[in-house]
Amino acid sequence: MQSQFREKSQKKILIIDAHPDPESLSSSIARASWEALGKKGELLELRNLNFELSLKNGYRRPTELEDDLKKAQSLISEADHLVIATPVWWGSVPALLKGFFDRTLVPGFGFKYRKGSPLWDKLLAGRSAQLYVTMDSPYWWFRFVYGNPAINMLKKTVLEFCGIKPVKVRVFDQVRSSTSERRKRWLNSVRKDSLRLI
């Protein structure tokens, strides 16, 4: 909770690049945010972490964390604000990001159920987040026809479940048919967003 009271000038920001491909638009978005933030931002590229994607024991018994995930938990704990750049695949997020959440936001770190109660403690309260979501389909179709599944999952059942809010969302849609000029404008807008954080 102490992060709530940190001076704005001291805000720590963690940028999470959730795309397996370093040449993707999502990765370019993460780097643009990181470059704009300078020393105030920390870039975590999930594809470079060494960890088992699957929570092999479920929640029946703890799975030992790899060193890279221990470091990731430390970065999340120290951060006041998270920036997550991810594509939408099959209405959800890549296995890389889902596995990262499964392995990292475990009971005792992301949340804690209360004994004898259906309620839980949100252990990451005091932090906010910005989601940058890319997709090939038109966003209106994804939202109104499919019901916004990836964004609802990320915002409501992951981040807000752990106490991270507000969670702002920006969607860059129809990526497959976008021009290089349009992508440049998107990246410039990300840089401007990031500068407003500091």
Domain layout of the chain by residue ranges = 2-196
When pLDDT is averaged across residues 164-174 and rounded to a whole number, the result is 98
pLDDT reading at 188 higher than 50: yes
For residue 190, what are its two tokens?
């990300």
Q: What is the pLDDT of residues 76-92, one digit of tens each?
A: 999 999 999 999 999 99
Residue with tokens 């024991």: 57
Q: How confident is the model at residue 130 (pLDDT cuts 50, 70, 90)?
A: very high
pLDDT above 70: residue 7: no
Distance, CA of 115 to chain centre = 29
CATH topology of domain 2-196: Rossmann fold (3.40.50)
Phi, psi of 177 (to 5 degrees): -100, 5
**Integer CA distances (angstroms), 83 to 29, 130, 170, 175, in order:** 10, 5, 11, 20
Spatial separation of the C-alpha atoms in residues 25 and 18, rounded to whole Å: 11
pTM for the predicted model, two decimal places: 0.93
For residues 104 and 110, give the distance between their C-alpha atoms in angstroms, rounded to a whole number.
Answer: 8
The pLDDT tens digits of the residues spanning 37-70 come to 988 899 999 999 999 999 888 888 888 999 999 9
What 8-state DSSP symbol labels residue 47?
A: G
Mean pLDDT of the chain: 94
Residue 8 has pLDDT above 50, yes or no: no
Query: Mean pLDDT across the stretch 111-138?
Result: 97
Task: Give the pLDDT of residue 5.
Answer: 44
Fill in the amino acid letter for 56.
K
| Predicted pLDDT of residue 198 | 84
Length of the chain: 198
What region, left, alpha or beta, does residue 163 occupy, with left being phi > 0 and alpha being psi -120 to 50 degrees? left
Q: What is the mean pLDDT of residues 16-42?
A: 96
Tell me the one-letter amino acid at 121.
Answer: D
